[in-house]
Chain A
Amino acid sequence: NAGVTQTPKFQVLKTGQSMTLQCAQDMNHEYMSWYRQDPGMGLRLIHYSVGAGITDQGEVPNGYNVSRSTTEDFPLRLLSAAPSQTSVYFCASSYSTTRNSPLHFGNGTRLTVT
């Protein structure tokens, strides 16, 4: 049981480049989400999905796109990378969309934009 798998673990981009951070879960979880973690700021929600074909914005969605074509996968796309997007990105899922369902996190992708 792999849980939540994120790839790549590390990535360096130049300003203006685009890329996709991959997230896959094998637990048949309905809810999936993306967070970014910055020092002294905790985790901030970027986008989330309550099921295949349904996505919504979180607290800091600008500069990011998501899609959810299958239950398992929830990729995060950076359209034109900026230094302000240097961060550690976490994908998280939960079995249920009920609001008390705890999240399962991947191990993160550390992104540096130069």
Chain B
Amino acid sequence: AQSVAQPEDQVNVAEGNPLTVKCTYSVSGNPYLFWYVQYPNRGLQFLLKYITGDNLVKGSYGFEAEFNKSQTSFHLKKPSALVSDSALYFCAVRYSGAGSYQLTFGKGTKLSVIP
């Protein structure tokens, strides 16, 4: 079975400060990892993904994520937070091999950027 943990329900950060949203995963074999963002009353939007190769992945809106295989983590980061980054963030994992197409999401982390 595969799973995702987002240990923080909420993260508060001041505008202009760096932000980190944490994610750890469990999967048998090599993972594909994703970050999505959800604004109020909207569907999720894709931010970035890790497939293989470089452990630092760059995505939309200045976000990046660092894959750490030994710690089974895929933390989302941004050097300087904007008020408009306030939203709900979801980490997701999918096994890269054959079999189920199941994409497993974490429970989400609410990011609040304080002006």
Chain A residues within 8 Å of B, Cβ to Cβ: 4, 31, 33, 35, 40-45, 48, 50, 56, 58-59, 90, 92, 97, 99-100, 102-108
In-complex Cβ contact of A108 among B43, B90, B101 (8 A): B43
The residues of B that contact A42 with a CB separation of less than 8 Å are 4, 90, 105-108
B96 lies within 8 A of A99 (CB) = yes
In the assembled complex, the CB of A106 is this many whole angstroms from the nearest CB of chain B, namely: 5
State which size class the interface on B falls in.
20 to 34
- Residue in B closest to A107 when the chains form the complex, CB atoms: B43
In the assembled complex, the CB of A88 is this many whole angstroms from the nearest CB of chain B, namely: 9
The residues of B that contact A48 with a CB separation of less than 8 Å are 101
Closest 5 CB pairs of A and B: A105-B43, A102-B46, A42-B105, A43-B105, A42-B107
B residues 22-48 touching A (CB-CB < 8 Å): 32, 34, 36, 41-46
A92 lies within 8 A of B43 (CB) = yes
Bound Cα distance A107, B107 (Å): 18
A41 lies within 8 A of B46 (CB) = no
B95 near A: Cβ within 8 Å? yes
The residues of B that contact A45 with a CB separation of less than 8 Å are 102-103
B56 near A: Cβ within 8 Å? no
Bound Cα distance A41, B49 (Å): 22
In-complex Cβ contact of A56 among B95, B101, B103 (8 A): B101
A4 lies within 8 A of B49 (CB) = no
Known: A44-B105, A59-B102, A107-B43. 9 other contacts (CB 8 A): A40-B107, A42-B90, A42-B107, A45-B102, A90-B43, A92-B44, A103-B36, A103-B46, A103-B103
